Amino acid sequence: MTSTMTSTMTQKNERLSGKVALVTGAGSGMGASHARMLVAEGAKVVLTDVDDRAGTRLAGEIGSERAHFVHLNVTEYQEWENAVREAEEVFGKLDVLVNNAGIFTAGSVEDASLEDWRRTIDIDLNGTFYGMKAALPALKKNDTASIINISSIAGLTGFKNRAAYSAAKWAVQGLTRTSALDLGKYNIRVNSVHPGSVETPLTAGLKRGFGQIPLGRAAQVEEISHLIIYLASDESTFATGGTFVLDGGETAGNNLRADQ
């Protein structure tokens, strides 16, 4: 039994052996979960965040041989260039980009503030574009590479009172699909991940029910991270331009309709 378990763990840890990934918004929530699981599967990870304390703490927990923290405001292109440069200097290359950093703001077209609109688009959409553009020269050096853009089910269907957030997340899907066409010649895969309700610090204060979700609950961050591992690994070398939905069935249909 012990021998079998050890063998299984060794195989699991080799799924991302030799890979180097950069994860934005890695200080907490889904980003921290993605980073931990990437490392557990054998990758080395550049952790980035605007929260230096959280990012440094996580890097310390993982250890300098596997993780390196870089301050990154995703709305500043020069900071992106620095983060990619550090990835290559510290770990020798960059294979995987996980554009995870994001915010959400409330408000419809009628009542959303111009400041919230600009800030949401700048972080959720522009930050994703900047990251892809800055990382591209490093990613092109590999035989295969992967860009994973975290969108949302708000990028698949309308979301009441989320004008800026939904617009940004729809745009991320469009950017992902067109980039899959543009970057396929470099053997760079580009996919978008669309989580539904997930238990994170960002969503902790939301008042929400789960009746619209067939599985009747929110996801745990690790349930999203498992998909990130697949898309980062060479198991997904024919997957590009994909829209991967993890929402407990929320966008499958009207789960609140009670016709008998």
* CATH number where 52 lies: 3.40.50.720
- pLDDT > 90 fraction of the chain, expressed in percent and rounded: 78
- Domain assignment present for residue 257? The answer is no
pLDDT of 6 above 90:
no
Average pLDDT, the chain: 91
Provide the pLDDT for residue 204: 53
Query: How many Å apart are CA 110 and CA 162, to the nearest integer?
Result: 11
Provide the pLDDT for residue 11: 44
| Average pLDDT score over residue span 73-101 | 98
**pLDDT by residue (tens digit) across 142-186?**
999 999 999 999 999 998 999 999 999 999 999 999 999 999 999
Provide the pLDDT for residue 251: 82
Quick check: pTM over 0.85?
A: yes
- Domain assignment present for residue 202? The answer is yes
Q: Of residues 4 and 46, which shows the higher confidence score?
A: 46
Q: Which residues are catalytic?
A: 165
Count of C-beta atoms within a 10 Å radius of residue 222: 12
| Average pLDDT score over residue span 27-39 | 96
Most confidently modeled range among 3-7, 200-204, 249-253: 249-253
Give the largest CA-CA distance in the chain: 63
Q: How many independent structural domains does the chain possess? A: 1
Provide the pLDDT for residue 198: 86
- Domain assignment present for residue 260? The answer is no
- Domain assignment present for residue 219? The answer is yes
Least confident of 25-34, 105-114, 194-203, 211-220: 194-203
Tokens of 99: 């554009």
- Domain assignment present for residue 73? The answer is yes
Query: How many Å apart are CA 60 and CA 50, to the nearest integer?
Result: 17
96: domain range?
16-249
Provide the pLDDT for residue 217: 85
pLDDT of 7 above 70:
no
- Domain assignment present for residue 9? The answer is no
pLDDT of 211 above 90:
no
- Domain assignment present for residue 179? The answer is yes
**Residues 169, 124 contacting (CB under 8 angstroms):** yes
Q: Write the CB contacts of 105 (distance below 8 Å, at least 6 apart in sequence).
A: 112, 116, 117, 119, 120, 162, 164, 165
How many CA atoms, within 13 angstroms, populate the side-chain half-sphere of residue 189?
24
pLDDT of 207 above 70:
no
| Average pLDDT score over residue span 204-212 | 65
- Domain assignment present for residue 46? The answer is yes
